[in-house]
Chains A and B, each alone.
Chain A
Amino acid sequence: MILLDLRAVEFEWNDPESGPDEYYTLHNRVRVHSAEAVEAFNKVYIPMDGVHEIVRLQVRVITSRGVRSTDSVQLLDYRDAGGEVHMKYFAVEGVEEGAEVEYLYTLRMDARLEGVREVFQDTDHRRKAEFMLIAPAGMTFAFRAYNGFPGPVADTVSPGKICYRASVTDLEPLRSEQYAPYYDHLARLEYRLQSMQPASGDELYSYRHLAGQLDAYFRPRSDEKKAMKKIEKLIRHLGVAQLEMPDRIRTIEDFIKERFTLTEQSDAGYDRLDRILREHVASRRGLLRLFIAAFDQAGVNYEYGLTSDREGVSFDPEFETYTYLEHYFFYFPATGQYLAPSEFFYRLGFLPYNWTHNYGLFIRPLHIGAIDTQWTEIRFIPALPAEENVDFLDIRYDILGEFDSARIRVRRSLSGYQSTYIQPVYSFLPEVDLKPLQLELLNLQGKFQSLRFLEVKHGSMSDLYQRPFEIDGTAGPELAFIEKAGNRYLMRVGELIGEQVELYQEKERRLPVQNEYNRIFRREIRVTVPPGYEVMNLEDLNYTVVPENDQPVTMAFESAARLEGNQITVSVNEYYRKIDYPVEQFGQFRRVINAAADFNKKVIVFRKTGV
């Protein structure tokens, strides 16, 4: 249990020549009841990005043995290879079950004015969570609080200073749930500097302001003329001028993504075009600059923009803060398509799904004569329709002789996001990893050791999101999926579609539903009945769940079986055409998800005719 979680920010502006200094204080008091809590709170990690010094650090542990205070700990240091993460950390001494651990640190750091997020909720109960921001009176901040955290209220504590405060008591723990936007629902606060006296009327750190800076940064620099010549030559060499619209973009994208590599070392000159062209290594922004230079040369009309990962915190269209600006994308007005410049496993038309169904900041640079300006807009990036993301399974199962052996042929095709984790990597996987993957894709893992025949189509990078990944495999003669019961045979038809996700356990649902992406599953199963046998319970395979009150129907599971001659055909369709459902509709959603898991348990029984 966290007794106190205080975050206090103070801005001091002593030297008018430079910007303000920020003092950030975190004060936590925690009671640890279990060994797990001891493990969780006997180590403290202090993020050091932008931090100049730790001004103050105090630790206190209260146990039955007494109070132990210290203001000197053995501070350890960690820096990652990319130069992005820097932290200091220490182990808290003397923590045991039942102890109260209290620590407080104050950091002097680069003032964060463009947007800060403070999240106050997690799986621990907080008895009190408090936020405080103190600044010279001339600085005005914009705040927005979410999910039960109150909006800060301003009061003047001392002349020339303004203080914003917000606090909440007994903040309940919130745990993540399946198919739910968990982080988006945690109590949090976003803030940024809005204006500073005396200043121009323009809002500071607004998106408009940023658009101008980005445009200036992305455009070719005066010392990159040679590199621009190279790009011009490259574009000519690619012959894109002759291509129509989506193909022109696609050719440039394939060229860049097949030859260049991303580095996380963001400050090492990997954004310079000459270096990128020489080494084929670029930072995220460097890649964007490369794309922009290429698009400009090729006469491609584009907008670029930024959005957040909605599996983290979704983009709030009504509050401007840079914290939402996590991922760069391109948008092409001519085709209405999007492109993720630094995601090598994505191609035109497909942003990572978690960037879609989310708002984004769109920027269109306008260069009219000598005037450079930018048009900005916040728009919704829609999720792709279910038809783009289809998982199709075509299964044929022949029982040979009198259940002597069997032959199974499975064909599967995966399009759109359904193939994201397979198509781009398939051709690169070593043989030893491919075999189990093939069996798994055909839902034959654990049933067969190897396939007798296999064909894979569109399994390379150049097919990515253009053509569905297709796999076609045949196995046998093992009587997989079949069990013996004296003179009866049982076939686990339901297992042929692979193990399905279930939401069987009944727990109180707190969060609304959020799907990853819209999607369709189609399965066609054909089974030959051996001569002299009949199926006792074919009707068990007819199983449909379509929620009532869902009009138009956005999700369903439907299975229907029929017998024609000696062939059983089972058609199993399942789809999800909507991303979000309110928590009230969770029950319906759960029924559809569980219908597929229920189908896994469907079994048909064969017996000799006339017996």
Chain B
Amino acid sequence: MISADPGSAYRYSFWGKAAWALTGLMLFSTAAAFASWMERQADAFGIVLRQQQAVEIDIGRDGDLVIHADVYEETLLQKEFARFFAEQSIPYPSAFTDIGNIRAWTHTPDGNGGYRKEMVREFRTSDLATSGVFYDDYRQKTFYFPALRPGAKTVLNYRKTYREPRLWGYFVFSGALPVLHSEFSVTAPADVVLGYRVFGVNEKELAFEKQQKGNLVSYRWVLREVDKVPGSAYPGILHHAPHLVVYVKSYTYEGENRPVLSGLSDLFAWYEQFLDLENGTGIPEMKQLVDELVADRDSEPEKVEALYNWVRRNIRYIAFEDGLGGFAPRSAGTVWSRRYGDCKDMANLLFHMLEMAGIPSHHTWIGTRAIPYTHREVPTPMADNHMILTYRHGGREYFLDATDAYSRFGIPSEHIQGREALVRLGHDAYELVEVPVVAAEENRKCDTVKMYLEQGQIRGCGTLCLRGYLRNAATDVLQNKGKEGTDEYLSGLLAQGNNKFFLDSVVVGNLSDHSADLVFEYSFRLLDYQTEAGGELFLNPHFSQFAGDVQAGYAENPYGHYFPFKSVRQRLTRFRIPDRYQVGHLPGDVSWEEPDFGFSLSYRQEGSYVLIAEEFYINTLHIKPERNSAWNELVRRLGEASKEMLVLVKT
């Protein structure tokens, strides 16, 4: 399912003559502040001097909205390297938008202090392959900026036309390059009512004005000296990029009020018309399968689970997102016979199969964690990019995401945790329901390992249990990859100590029982791990690698740290003290425990064994930037503690 038009986020705009005049009056921050901003951008390949999008909304003769955006972008190239970016493209979803009137040129230094203008002569249209999508209607206009060199300026100018007003309205104030002047404006007849909301921008820095001249109202947002947006940071660029969401709430045509996205009910009504609730009921083979699957299940949830499992295991994910096909689920009959589909196709098939079994369920639109807003904040298609099915029983919701092949029944898929679901209750009836965040304890990794020394090698056997989201990746590999891929994966999963680790045997338990912990009983050899010197044996007892795992998050991160899920990781190591040795030194216990994250390490001797207990937990999906210092302290302490060795000495 496609969201509005993220492609436009990185494309830029034009306001028109009036705007040029206005800009001169706009806040020029003090010269010193400006100089310091320019200085900070000195190592950027280039600076976008001006990025503008001037939108005009008209009501056409037939009463439909006509939306055009004039895009203008002027970029100063600073580095020699910039010429490697001569190739540029303008991506757009061709079913809903057109790109026209493209003009582009380079002002290239002529060597005499002036500029020479080199026009781009050729624009090509080609397909744009989107990762993970089998087919969509994204196209791109591609061209080469000529004669690039430091000091050259490129100018790009085009008109974008929106055929579906609900999929218009999105502007990112900067992109891969810093932007000196970023501007978005809309001019519309006075009775076109707009809704808008700004994200990731300090409101004080954003200049906004609304003016009315005659029957035309213009809105203008200007942000200056905008730093570039870092690449694709988890969970999604919209969490970090300064951007504006704008949409048409309603307009008047011949005295009649026409709602577009005046509230959530409009969005819902638009979504609902795409549903095909009839088709799919008349397939005897499907009915037969449904009957077989639910035959010996007693309770209703068990029946739901059986049908849900069948769909997610037997329908392959292949996404077609062409035009409204990005919003309309294909009929259950089609998906049944093809054996493939995308999220909404699978949800719809499951809906019909449940219906055959006499069980009601609910089509549900939702935005994954990549999207930072709720339906209440943004009642437009920008809030959603996914469809699931909701089943209610015993006072609780089951969020059935058929694209999630492995999560335990009753557990939502990882990427919708904490998100707000738009649940269809019936015609014209919906409800917003928050998807729960799965508790850390439900995503547990627990490794219990016994080790001993034999002929200079460490030998051992262990039991590793993986629960919840932590087991999904393993389940996928073990069920689908061949022997080669599985062996390689297991060597990585069970590795400990160093890379001279040899897995000798492994038995996997509960692979097909997705509701239980995935269990690995394994034995191994570990070479060159311990150090022997002067009759003493030195061994780092921290096999869990927690310290290494969190190092990556050590550096300052302006957005804090995001995690895909809450989790707990535990490890208990029982190391047998070799004959004729005794413990010479045991590290002291250490712990650092906060509500959101923490660890504990403890060591003790028990008979002829040294017991090492390690635990690490993340109890939040996001550590906010103001908690960075606490997180860094955890990383530091864990790092320090992980350098404490166990010493065994000859008796």
A interface list, Cβ under 8 A from B: 34-36, 38-39, 42-43, 65, 76-81, 83, 91, 93-96, 175, 258-261, 263, 265, 268, 278-281, 344, 428, 430-432, 446, 449, 461, 482-488, 490, 502, 504-505, 536-537, 540, 597-598, 600-601, 603, 605, 607
Q: Within 8 Å CB of A431, what residues of B? A: 43
Q: Within 8 Å CB of A598, what residues of B? A: 500, 528
Supply 14 A–B pairs (Cβ within 8 Å), ascending by A. A34-B480, A36-B482, A91-B338, A279-B146, A280-B149, A485-B645, A488-B645, A504-B502, A505-B491, A597-B500, A601-B500, A605-B536, A605-B538, A607-B534
Report whether A488 and B124 are in contact in the complex, using a CB–CB cutoff of 8 Å. Answer: no
Q: Within 8 Å CB of B63, what residues of A? A: none
Q: Within 8 Å CB of A485, what residues of B? A: 538, 585, 644-647
Known: A77-B127, A461-B80, A482-B643. A605 touches B482 (CB 8 A): no
Q: Does B436 contact A (CB under 8 A)?
A: no
Report whether B531 and A537 are in contact in the complex, using a CB–CB cutoff of 8 Å. Answer: yes
Report whether B644 and A483 are in contact in the complex, using a CB–CB cutoff of 8 Å. Answer: yes
Q: Does B89 contact A (CB under 8 A)?
A: yes
Q: Within 8 Å CB of A504, what residues of B? A: 499-500, 502
The smallest beta-carbon distance between A61 and chain B, in angstroms, is 9
Report whether B118 and A279 are in contact in the complex, using a CB–CB cutoff of 8 Å. Answer: yes
The smallest beta-carbon distance between A89 and chain B, in angstroms, is 8
Q: Within 8 Å CB of A77, what residues of B? A: 127
Q: Could you tell me the distance between the alpha carbons of A38 and B647 in the complex, rounded to whole angstroms?
A: 53
Report whether B147 and A597 are in contact in the complex, using a CB–CB cutoff of 8 Å. Answer: no
Report whether A446 and B338 are in contact in the complex, using a CB–CB cutoff of 8 Å. Answer: no
Residue of A nearest to B44 (CB): A430
Report whether B147 and A280 are in contact in the complex, using a CB–CB cutoff of 8 Å. Answer: yes
Residue of B nearest to A124 (CB): B482
Q: Choose from B86, B129, B140, B230 the contact partner of A261 (Cβ within 8 Å).
A: B86
Q: Within 8 Å CB of A540, what residues of B? A: 531, 533
* Interface 1/0 per residue, B257-293 and A, CB below 8 Å: 0000000000000000000000000000100000000
Report whether B316 and A95 are in contact in the complex, using a CB–CB cutoff of 8 Å. Answer: yes
Q: Choose from B479, B533, B644 the contact partner of A605 (Cβ within 8 Å).
A: B533
Q: Within 8 Å CB of A95, what residues of B? A: 316, 339-340
B interface list, Cβ under 8 A from A: 43-45, 79-81, 83-84, 86-87, 89, 118, 122, 124, 126-127, 129, 134-135, 140, 142, 144, 146-149, 230, 285, 313-314, 316, 318, 337-340, 479-482, 484, 491, 498-500, 502, 528-529, 531-534, 536, 538, 540, 548, 551, 554-555, 584-585, 643-647
Q: Choose from A36, A91, A488 the contact partner of B480 (Cβ within 8 Å).
A: A36
Report whether B83 and A490 are in contact in the complex, using a CB–CB cutoff of 8 Å. Answer: no
Known: A36-B481, A486-B585, A536-B534. A93 touches B643 (CB 8 A): no
> Which of B314, B340, B534 counts the most A-chain CB atoms under 10 A from its CB?
B340
Q: Within 8 Å CB of A96, what residues of B? A: 314, 339
The smallest beta-carbon distance between B121 and chain A, in angstroms, is 9
Report whether A603 and B555 are in contact in the complex, using a CB–CB cutoff of 8 Å. Answer: no
Residue of A nearest to B230 (CB): A432
Q: Could you tell me the distance between the alpha carbons of A36 and B477 in the complex, rounded to whole angstroms?
A: 9
Known: A536-B533, A605-B533. A486 touches B647 (CB 8 A): yes
Q: Within 8 Å CB of B140, what residues of A? A: 81
Report whether B538 and A65 are in contact in the complex, using a CB–CB cutoff of 8 Å. Answer: no
Q: Within 8 Å CB of B644, what residues of A? A: 483-485
Beyond the given pairs A94-B337, A432-B230, A484-B644, 5 more chain A to chain B contacts, judged by CB atoms under 8 angstroms and listed by A's residue number, are A36-B480, A95-B316, A261-B144, A449-B555, A601-B498
Q: Choose from A80, A93, A502 the contact partner of B126 (Cβ within 8 Å).
A: A80
Known: A96-B339, A263-B87. A83 touches B484 (CB 8 A): no
Q: Within 8 Å CB of B87, what residues of A? A: 81, 263
Q: Could you tell me the distance between the alpha carbons of A81 and B123 in the complex, rounded to whole angstroms?
A: 10
The smallest beta-carbon distance between B122 and chain A, in angstroms, is 6
Q: Choose from B80, B122, B528, B646 the contact partner of A601 (Cβ within 8 Å).
A: B528
Report whether A43 and B585 are in contact in the complex, using a CB–CB cutoff of 8 Å. Answer: no
Q: Within 8 Å CB of B536, what residues of A? A: 488, 536, 605
Q: Could you tell me the distance between the alpha carbons of A502 and B129 in the complex, rounded to whole angstroms?
A: 36
Known: A34-B482, A485-B645. A78 touches B127 (CB 8 A): yes
Report whether A80 and B645 are in contact in the complex, using a CB–CB cutoff of 8 Å. Answer: no
Q: Could you tell me the distance between the alpha carbons of A65 and B283 in the complex, rounded to whole angstroms?
A: 13
Report whether A79 and B80 are in contact in the complex, using a CB–CB cutoff of 8 Å. Answer: no
Report whether A258 and B80 are in contact in the complex, using a CB–CB cutoff of 8 Å. Answer: yes
The smallest beta-carbon distance between A530 and chain B, in angstroms, is 17
Q: Within 8 Å CB of A258, what residues of B? A: 80
Q: Within 8 Å CB of B318, what residues of A? A: 42-43, 91
Report whether B499 and A597 are in contact in the complex, using a CB–CB cutoff of 8 Å. Answer: yes
Q: Choose from B124, B134, B551 the contact partner of A83 (Cβ within 8 Å).
A: B124
Q: Could you tell me the distance between the alpha carbons of A35 and B555 in the complex, rounded to whole angstroms?
A: 40
Q: Could you tell me the distance between the alpha carbons of A430 and B548 in the complex, rounded to whole angstroms?
A: 26
Report whether B86 and A81 are in contact in the complex, using a CB–CB cutoff of 8 Å. Answer: no
Report whether B80 and A279 are in contact in the complex, using a CB–CB cutoff of 8 Å. Answer: no
Report whether B534 and A537 are in contact in the complex, using a CB–CB cutoff of 8 Å. Answer: yes
The smallest beta-carbon distance between B59 and chain A, in angstroms, is 36
Residue of A nearest to B645 (CB): A485
The smallest beta-carbon distance between B562 and chain A, in angstroms, is 18
Known: A261-B84, A488-B647, A490-B645. A449 touches B554 (CB 8 A): yes
Q: Could you tell me the distance between the alpha carbons of A268 and B647 in the complex, rounded to whole angstroms?
A: 71
Report whether A175 and B484 are in contact in the complex, using a CB–CB cutoff of 8 Å. Answer: yes
Q: Within 8 Å CB of A268, what residues of B? A: 122
Report whether B491 and A605 are in contact in the complex, using a CB–CB cutoff of 8 Å. Answer: no
Report whether B528 and A39 are in contact in the complex, using a CB–CB cutoff of 8 Å. Answer: no
Report whether B548 and A446 are in contact in the complex, using a CB–CB cutoff of 8 Å. Answer: yes
Q: Within 8 Å CB of A175, what residues of B? A: 484
Q: Within 8 Å CB of A505, what residues of B? A: 491, 502
The smallest beta-carbon distance between B116 and chain A, in angstroms, is 10
Report whether B147 and A279 are in contact in the complex, using a CB–CB cutoff of 8 Å. Answer: yes
The smallest beta-carbon distance between B110 and chain A, in angstroms, is 13
Q: Within 8 Å CB of B144, what residues of A? A: 261, 263, 265, 279, 281
Q: Within 8 Å CB of B316, what residues of A? A: 35, 38-39, 42, 95
Q: Within 8 Å CB of B480, what residues of A? A: 34-36
Q: Could you tell me the distance between the alpha carbons of A397 and B81 in the complex, rounded to whole angstroms?
A: 37
Q: Could you tell me the distance between the alpha carbons of A22 and B131 in the complex, rounded to whole angstroms?
A: 34
Q: Within 8 Å CB of A344, what residues of B? A: 84
Q: Within 8 Å CB of B285, what residues of A? A: 65
The smallest beta-carbon distance between A543 and chain B, in angstroms, is 11
Q: Could you tell me the distance between the alpha carbons of A598 and B644 in the complex, rounded to whole angstroms?
A: 22
The smallest beta-carbon distance between A350 and chain B, in angstroms, is 19
Q: Within 8 Å CB of B643, what residues of A? A: 482-484
Residue of B nearest to A607 (CB): B534
Report whether B79 and A428 are in contact in the complex, using a CB–CB cutoff of 8 Å. Answer: yes
Q: Could you tell me the distance between the alpha carbons of A565 and B499 in the complex, rounded to whole angstroms?
A: 35
5 tightest A-B CB contacts, nearest first: A486-B585, A279-B146, A485-B645, A428-B81, A536-B533
Report whether A35 and B479 are in contact in the complex, using a CB–CB cutoff of 8 Å. Answer: yes
Q: Within 8 Å CB of A263, what residues of B? A: 86-87, 144
Report whether B645 and A484 are in contact in the complex, using a CB–CB cutoff of 8 Å. Answer: yes
Q: Within 8 Å CB of A259, what residues of B? A: 83, 149
Q: Within 8 Å CB of B79, what residues of A? A: 428
Q: Could you tell me the distance between the alpha carbons of A36 and B43 in the complex, rounded to whole angstroms?
A: 45
Q: Could you tell me the distance between the alpha carbons of A83 and B124 in the complex, rounded to whole angstroms?
A: 9
Q: Could you tell me the distance between the alpha carbons of A280 and B479 in the complex, rounded to whole angstroms?
A: 53
Report whether A81 and B89 are in contact in the complex, using a CB–CB cutoff of 8 Å. Answer: yes
Q: Within 8 Å CB of A278, what residues of B? A: 118, 146-147
Report whether A483 and B540 are in contact in the complex, using a CB–CB cutoff of 8 Å. Answer: yes
Report whether B551 and A91 are in contact in the complex, using a CB–CB cutoff of 8 Å. Answer: no
Q: Within 8 Å CB of A260, what residues of B? A: 83
Q: Could you tell me the distance between the alpha carbons of A449 and B556 in the complex, rounded to whole angstroms?
A: 10
Q: Could you tell me the distance between the alpha carbons of A175 and B488 in the complex, rounded to whole angstroms?
A: 13
Q: Could you tell me the distance between the alpha carbons of A96 and B339 in the complex, rounded to whole angstroms?
A: 7
Residue of B nearest to A605 (CB): B533
Q: Could you tell me the distance between the alpha carbons of A430 and B318 in the complex, rounded to whole angstroms?
A: 38
Q: Within 8 Å CB of B531, what residues of A? A: 490, 537, 540, 603, 605
Q: Within 8 Å CB of A600, what residues of B? A: 498
Q: Could you tell me the distance between the alpha carbons of A597 and B498 in the complex, rounded to whole angstroms?
A: 10
Q: Could you tell me the distance between the alpha carbons of A90 and B502 in the complex, rounded to whole angstroms?
A: 43
Q: Within 8 Å CB of A502, what residues of B? A: 499-500
